[in-house]
Amino acid sequence: MRRILIATSNSGKLRDFAGAALQHGVEVAGIPDFSSLPAVVEDGPTFEANAHKKAEEYSRYAPGEIMVADDSGLEIDALNGAPGVHSARYAADKPGQADANTDDEANNARVLRELRSVPPEQRTARFVCVLAAARDGKTLATFRGTAEGIILKAPRGTNGFGYDPLFYFPQIRKTFAELSAEEKSKYSHRGAAFREFLAWCAHSTIADH
């Protein structure tokens, strides 16, 4: 069974990836002692740049292994694509907070304030996930997944994290926070990107070396 490492300390994200990977004969594991490694500063201008940077830098700590890292976020059309790459720290509007993640409630509250006067038909948005696979400091391939939806005027649901309670997915008439882990994997941006990665694993000779 091929093994890949995921550059994250998020146990929920690891479970999501592991469940999908097992069906494709791929074993997923976290990086040993991940918390002790120097943090990678996500200062790239795009999701792709941040995913590449994390995958390449963390892959140097696991020679010969395939390292996967993702960068994800929410793009709202009425806000010209914001919060975008700043999704995890969108509420950090004070000096010195630019690199610090802010809590989900604060981020959601800022989005709702900025969309207060925007009518429903103009509240279109998408979740974006870019996965990068790297080995020994070099990117092997990248994969992009998206999910199109609408930002509600109030949160719904208690599952998920981040902007999930505000993100209404018309295809199934639920927010991402109203989905089970299995449903979210089926419809989400991260699930779409990871399925592309697994298909690449199954057919790529690069992944076998």
Please indicate whether residue 70 is annotated as part of the active site: no
Please name the amino acid found at residue 95: P
Sheet containing strand 2-6, strands side by side? 26-30, 2-6, 66-76, 124-135, 138-151, 167-169, 174-175
The DSSP line for 110-159 is: HHHHHTTT--GGG-EEEEEEEEEEEETTEEEEEEEEEEEEEE-SS---SS
Pick the catalytic residue: 16, 70, 71, 164?
71
CA gap 109, 61 in Å, rounded:
38
CA gap 200, 171 in Å, rounded:
27
CA gap 34, 181 in Å, rounded:
24
Structure tokens at 93: 């509007």
Structure tokens at 81: 């694509």
> Annotated catalytic sites, by residue?
71
